[in-house]
Amino acid sequence: MLKPLILAFCVISGFAVLRAQTPAWQPSPGHMQVPIWPGKPPDAVPVAGPEYVKMVGDGGEEPVAGKVSRPTMTLYSPKGKNTGAAIVVFPGGGYWVLYMALEGTEVCDWLTSKGITCVLLKYRVPGEHLFPRSGAYPKSLTALEDAQRTVGLVRFHAAEWGIDPHKIGVLGFSAGGHLVAAVSTHFKQRLYRPVDVADEESCRPDFGVALYPGHMLENTSKEFELNPYVPVTSQTPPMFLLQAEDDPVDNVKNSLVYYAALKKAGVPVEMHLYANGGHGFGLRRTKFPITGWPQLVETWLETIGITAG
């Protein structure tokens, strides 16, 4: 099942079958989930009600987390040979909800099978359409603060978790793809006051993978101009981009404009565009060639020296 269109999900309640809400999302047994903040998260805003998980989709089988106000990270250890690499995964969901399986746990299962430590970030989202202070940075600081904090935490715990501190990357889908670009261009200064020694670590990812990203054309009056709140420089880490030209949610120009800015800044970037594929396919097999994208990422990671050797 492909991810339903975010707009339709939030505006048209009958678009998909919805089961009863359940308590906050939890990982399967055997995986460590911990809060990323030792106390109240910075810039916290009231959320109407507790965190929930809804089962959505035509068969009601897709777990979607909403009203997340207490962000967590869940550690998935590599299976077999440990490459020393780690990837923080940002699920998509329009900065309102998070698709925790399609663009979360299923991704971690793939990465860990390749010897990569996966850290699944459940970042703050309001879970309601047009909720105040929701959306991509700078409309809301919270998701980017959570991303900065998590990259720093992973680097702080690198030795403990068997991770090379110079091989820590980020990977995200849709809104999570934008978050990849945001944390890869906002790392010189935290958006919040440091809370402990983990915040002394760099929050710059060593590489990024942005899959069908959105919000790259916002805050500009021109048809083809990168969002100024994604300030690409020569210090932006190497990037992998992938999108379908028939994406009905995030126009393919989102990837194109980001690619152009990265090339102009001299940042190593690899981009793959496909005629068909739509939006929200995650790792699930489809009839289109784009479905083979995980192998492309694996090859790229080896090429740039993250998993080689």
The model's pLDDT over 94-147, given as tens digits with 9 standing for 90+, comes to 999 999 999 999 999 999 999 999 999 999 999 876 566 678 999 999 999 999
251, 292, 290, 297: which is closest to 270 by C-alpha? 297
For the chain, counts of helices (H) and of strands (E): 7, 11
Mean pLDDT of the chain: 91
Neighbours of 88 (CB within 10 A): 25
Across 300-308, average pLDDT: 96
Is pLDDT of 6 > 50? no
DSSP annotation of 292: G
Q: What secondary structure does DSSP assign to 6-22, as a single string?
A: HHHHHH-TTSS-----B
Across 80-96, average pLDDT: 97
Q: HEC states along 226-253?
A: CCCCCCCCCCCCCEEEEEECCCCCCCCH
Domains of the chain: 32-47+69-303 (3.40.50.1820)
Across 184-197, average pLDDT: 98
Torsion sign over Cα 212, 213, 214, 216 = negative
Predicted structure pTM score:
0.92
Lowest-pLDDT range of 137-141, 195-199, 290-294: 137-141
Is pLDDT of 23 > 90? no
- What was the pLDDT predicted at 131? 65
- What was the pLDDT predicted at 3? 55
Largest distance between two CA atoms of the chain: 51
For the chain, helix, strand, coil in percent to 5 are 25, 20, 55
- What was the pLDDT predicted at 58? 77
Helix runs in the chain, H state only: 6-11, 106-113, 142-156, 158-161, 175-183, 253-264, 293-303
For residue 19, give the amino acid letter. Answer: R
Is pLDDT of 191 > 50? yes
- What was the pLDDT predicted at 10? 35
The model's pLDDT over 217-257, given as tens digits with 9 standing for 90+, comes to 988 889 999 999 999 999 999 999 999 999 999 999 999 99
Is pLDDT of 169 > 50? yes
